[in-house]
């Protein structure tokens, strides 16, 4: 073995991993987009008249805006690798209170909303304190607070539906369709934009991901882990509360049983979102894409005449697939996709 030619010269190291890293990101991005396009195509062909109707699209946008807000709520603590399982119950409580405080207590909707958001901050704060100060596993802690919130909802409503017949128009108008665009979709867009800027361009967003990657390292770089985790849970709580107010305005009744069933789709969308755009990392765009993907697929399946209970199979199945995919994405990233680039050089 004599001297071999020194191809990778030290003087000009090959600029290599940047384009390939970008490439694998592109592949991942297109993965979810591709599935989305496929779903649209299949159902568009099978049910051309109804699937693409403005009514169907708007119905989906309105109903899914609540799921989207909840998915974004889940995303924030999940960036630090903390679960928030209370968001579904939180949504339910906010929705019942949004209607109830107006109907029963005679508050105007702005006062009711302010009160609910204040409560949301308190709930988020307690979740954050339980997890970061008392060091209770987030899974357990938030399941606990969630169940407590469900208790509060039922205590307040006595387990009965609150009719919103006399709700003010200004409240129900919060979720109307303006110039063909449903307002809830606008709220989602605004929230997403803010969160996108925070997670991608602000130090605080990077800190959240750093905590998620390695808590000890985060502490040693001077990140106040406790404060960030508490903050993440407060944001999660605020978004859940806001989603509840929106849901109250959409449904125009306060139904104590509504809420918990939103957790699973929101959770699935967030995890599915982590398999694209930013491989292995929860992110805003991936989350939104996943919510839409799940919603349109579900709507398509329904239009094909699937029975109501199909949604449980759908949500459960998607959750497992989403987690499976994100595990796969992580492993693929660690193995650094040895096969995708064998054609180069």
Partner 1 sequence: MATDAQPAIAIRGVTKRFLSTLALDSVDLTIGRGEIHALVGENGAGKSTLIKILAGIYPPDAGEIVLDGRSLNPHLEPVPIAFVHQDLGLVDELSIGENVALVAGFPRRGGLISWKDVWEQTKRIYAGMAIDPPDPRAPVGSLSAAGKAILGVVRALSRDARIVVLDEPTASLPGPDALHLFEVLRRLRASGTSILYVSHRLNELFGLVDRVTVLRDGRNVSSGSIDGLTTETIVRDMLGRDLQVHHVTAATGREATPLLTVENLCAGNQGPLSFTVGKHEIVGLVGLRGAGHEIVGRAIFGANSHSAGTIRLAADVIPADLPISARIGKGIALLAGNRLVESTLGGMSVRENLFPNVHAVSGALLRPIDTGAELRAVRDELERFDVRPRSAAALIDWLSGGNQQKIFVGRWLATGAKLFIMEEPTAGVDIGAKGIIHRTLRKIADDGAAVLVISSDFEEVATLCDRALVMGRGKITSELTGSTLTLEGLLTRSSMAGGQSERVH
Q: How far is the CB of 274 from partner 1 (least distance, A)?
A: 11
**Closest distance between partner 1 and the C-beta of residue 62, in Å?**
32
337 binds partner 1 (CB under 8 A): yes
Q: How far apart are CA 283 and CA 199, in angstroms?
A: 8
Asked if residue 17 binds partner 1 (CB under 8 A), the reply is yes
**What does the alpha-carbon distance between residue 67 and residue 183 come to, in Å, rounded to a whole number?**
15
Q: Do 266 and 274 meet the contact criterion of CB atoms below 8 Å apart?
A: no
Q: Which of 108, 221, 312, 316 binds partner 1 (CB under 8 A)?
A: 221
Dihedral angle computed from the Cα positions of residues 69, 34, 281 and 338, in that order, rounded to the nearest 10 degrees: 170
Asked if 340 touches partner 1 (CB under 8 A), the answer is yes
Figure out which of the listed residues 6, 134, 308, 309 binds partner 1, where binding follows CB under 8 A: 6
With contacts defined by CB under 8 A, name the span among 42-50, 160-168, 210-218, 234-242 that binds partner 1: 210-218
Q: Applying CB under 8 A, which of residues 26, 46, 133, 204 lies at the interface with partner 1?
A: 204
Q: Which of residues 41 and 217 has its CB atom nearest to partner 1 in the complex?
A: 217
Picking from 187, 215, 212, the residue whose alpha carbon sits closest to that of residue 282 is: 212
Footprint on residues 263-282 left by partner 1 (CB under 8 A): 280-281
What's the token pair of residue 312?
A: 């449980």
Binding flag, residue 216, partner 1 (CB under 8 A):
yes
The smaller minimum CB distance to partner 1, of residues 80 and 95, is found at 80
CB closer to partner 1, 222 vs 305: 222
Only segment of 3-11, 44-52, 150-158, 181-189 that touches partner 1 (CB under 8 A): 3-11
Binder to partner 1 among 197, 304, 320, 327 (CB under 8 A)? 197
- Closest approach, Cβ 214 to partner 1, in A, equals 5
209 is a contact residue toward partner 1 (CB under 8 A): yes
Does 135 help bind partner 1 (rule: CB under 8 A)?
no
Residues that bind partner 1 (CB under 8 A): 1-4, 6-8, 10, 13-22, 24, 197, 201-204, 206-207, 209-210, 213-214, 216-224, 280-281, 330, 333-338, 340-342, 344-345
């Amino acid at each position: 073995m004599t001297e071999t030619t020194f191809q990778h010269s030290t003087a000009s190291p090959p600029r290599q991993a940047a384009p390939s890293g970008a490439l694998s990101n592109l592949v991942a991005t297109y993965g979810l987009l591709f599935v989305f396009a496929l779903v649209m195509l299949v159902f568009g062909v099978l049910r051309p008249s109804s699937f693409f109707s403005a009514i169907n699209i708007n119905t989906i946008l309105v109903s899914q805006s609540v799921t989207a807000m909840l998915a974004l709520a889940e995303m924030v603590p999940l960036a630090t690798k903390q679960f928030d399982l209370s968001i579904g119950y939180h949504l339910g409580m906010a929705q019942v209170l949004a209607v109830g405080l107006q109907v029963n207590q005679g508050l105007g909707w702005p006062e009711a909303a302010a009160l609910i958001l204040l409560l949301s901050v308190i709930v988020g704060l307690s979740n954050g304190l339980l997890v970061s100060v008392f060091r209770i596993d987030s899974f357990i802690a938030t399941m606990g607070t969630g169940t407590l919130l469900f208790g509060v909802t039922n205590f307040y409503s006595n387990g009965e539906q609150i009719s919103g017949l006399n709700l003010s128009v200004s409240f129900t108008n919060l979720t109307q369709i303006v110039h063909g665009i449903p307002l809830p979709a606008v709220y989602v867009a605004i929230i997403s934009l803010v969160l996108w800027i925070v997670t991608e361009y602000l130090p605080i967003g990077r800190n959240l991901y750093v905590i998620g990657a390695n808590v000890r390292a985060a502490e040693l770089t001077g990140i106040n882990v406790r404060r960030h985790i508490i903050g993440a849970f407060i944001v999660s709580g605020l978004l859940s509360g806001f989603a509840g107010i929106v849901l109250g305005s959409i449904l125009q009744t306060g139904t104590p049983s509504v809420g918990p069933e939103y957790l699973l789709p929101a959770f699935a969308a967030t995890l599915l979102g982590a398999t694209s755009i930013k491989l292995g990392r929860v992110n805003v765009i991936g989350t939104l894409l996943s919510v839409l993907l799940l919603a349109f697929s579900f709507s398509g399946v329904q239009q094909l005449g699937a029975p109501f209970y199909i949604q449980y199979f759908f949500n459960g199945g998607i959750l497992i697939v989403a987690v499976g995919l994100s595990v796969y994405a992580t492993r693929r990233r660690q193995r650094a996709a040895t096969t995708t680039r064998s054609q180069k050089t």
